[in-house]
Structures are given as structure tokens and as C-alpha cells.
Amino acid sequence: MEEFYIMRNVKLLSAAVLATTALGTALPVVANAADVANYNTTAGVTFTPNTDKVDPVSPDPDENGKPGTIDPNNPVVPVDPDDPNDKNPVDPDKGTQGPLSIDYVSDFNFGKQKISSKDMTYFAKAQKFVDDTKPHVLYAQVTDNRGTGQGWQLNVKQDAEFKTADGTNTLTGAQIAIKGMNTATQDGSAAGQVLAGAADTQLKVGANVLAMNAPVDAGQGTWVDRFGADTDLKNEADTNEDGGARDVDQAVTLSVPGKSNKIADQKYSTSLTWTLSDTPANPVA
């Protein structure tokens, strides 16, 4: 009886082990599609008009050299063209504020010229930047961060004739012209194209002249209006304020009649008013 009892317990134990093993191998291969679940979430962003001041950028093509492009991620510090050493920066607060802004426009300096009785044309000093010896074309820069797609236009007006500082002498008949205006923005922009002013834009005393026009659904982001191209840049001898050479942009000119009276060692100057309107110009018929 004792031997039978021992054998019986061994057999029961073996059966329990086998059952457990069988169950263990069967569980991992059982799958039920009802155990898979999905949960949906959302992602979103809302934009508001940006009133932060926008710094000037270079009018040169972006780092890839693609025509019609600029790099708005790399601001520059323009140099005052009246500084013969190209070191004195322009007032950084000169740009306008708001979501639609004039960020920068180049000043025109036509150098130190010899008196002549002939009709003469003089070139404006090229744009320079701090810590950059390379000349650049002169330009205007506008940013539209309104987010409305309303369009805009930039006009320029010569406020008065060229006069001496005391206002007693006038450079009668002198006229500024800008040739070859062309616009650019960042590569891949989804904004509609901004149109440049006339190929040969003559400034007029007291009259607005179109420089850039952004139709409805165009002109968002930062745009520059380049005055000419790199081929218009050249080095000119003896016309800098200190009597030395200077880099000029031949696309921006001052025509002076030979018959106008010129007083020696007097600087003649005028002011230009650049006006940015929040509606586009009427389309040309």
C-alpha cells in the first residue's frame, strides 16, 4: 500500500506540470482584434499682426545666389553715405513701426563734383554696411506682417529743389532718376509678387511716384526694391567727400543742367518722402 501511494502522487504531480506548461505556451498566440484602440488629438496655431520693428536686410540674393531672393534672417547695419570712411551707421530707429512698415530706404549721395557748364549726370554712392567692404545696390525695404492680404503701395516724392543749407541758392533743373527697379523676397515665399516702379523712374518735386506696388493677396513678408543690379556698381575716382575714390550705383542718377548756377564749396541737398499706403495702386489699364 505504501508503494502504491507514492507512485500515485508522482503521477498527479506530473499531470499538473504538463497542464501548466500547455497553458503557458498557448497564451501568447491568442490575439483579439477588439483589444486595439485609437485616440485622436488636435494641433493648432493662431497668428496675430506683428508690430515689432524689422531690421534692414541685405538686398543681395540669399546664400544660394538665386535671383529675386533675399535672406530676411540675416539683418545688416547700413552705413551713412555722408561718412567718407563708411563706418558711421545710420540711425537704427529710422524705420517706421507697425505691422506694415518701411524698414529702410537708402540715402542718395551724389558725391563731390567739379563745376561744369555742360549738362552732367552724377551717380549715387553705393550702399555699404558696417563690417562689410563690399558695395551693394541702393534699395528700399518694406515688411507686411498684417496677415490680411490687403495689398499696399510705396511712393516717393522729392519735397523741393536742391538748395544750399541757407536756402539762398537753388540747383535749378536738377533731377533724380532711378533705373532698373526690381523686387525680391525670401526664396519659396507663398506671397503674390510685388511689382516694381517704372523701368526709368523720374522723381518730381511735389509729386508722388510709384516705387513698389503689392496687389491684393500679394506682398506679405519682407520685400526689397533693388535700384539696379550688381552690374550697375562701379568704382569712381576723385568724387568721394574726402576727394578719394568711391563705389557708386549707376542706376541712381542726378542730372544737372550746365546752365544752372553752382556755388563753390556749398552742399546742395533736398529731402525725399517715402510714403507707404495700406491699399495697392490702381492697376495699369
* pLDDT of res. 29: 54
pLDDT score of 2 more than 80: no
* pLDDT of res. 31: 54
Mean pLDDT, to the nearest integer, of 57-77? 92
pLDDT score of 215 more than 50: yes
Average pLDDT, the chain: 89
Mean pLDDT, to the nearest integer, of 22-44? 72
How deeply is 219 buried, as exposed, middle or buried, from its count of CB atoms within 10 A (0-12, 13-18, 19+)? Answer: buried
Mean pLDDT, to the nearest integer, of 193-200? 96
Per residue in 137-184, pLDDT (tens digit) is: 999 999 999 999 999 999 999 999 999 999 999 999 999 999 999 999
Distances (CA, A) of 90 to 82, 108, 211: 10, 13, 22
Dist. CA 201–CA 181, nearest whole Å? 8
* pLDDT of res. 27: 52
pLDDT band at residue 135 under the 50/70/90 scheme: very high
Which carries the bigger pLDDT value, residue 273 or residue 283?
273
Strand pairing category for 69-70 and 181-186: parallel
* pLDDT of res. 59: 96
As a dihedral over the C-alpha atoms of residue 250, residue 254, residue 257, residue 263, rounded to 10 degrees, the angle is: -120
Mean pLDDT, to the nearest integer, of 25-47? 78
Per residue in 244-279, pLDDT (tens digit) is: 999 999 999 999 999 999 999 999 999 999 999 999
* pLDDT of res. 191: 94
Dist. CA 4–CA 45, nearest whole Å? 81
Of 100, 84, 105, residue with least CA distance to 49: 100
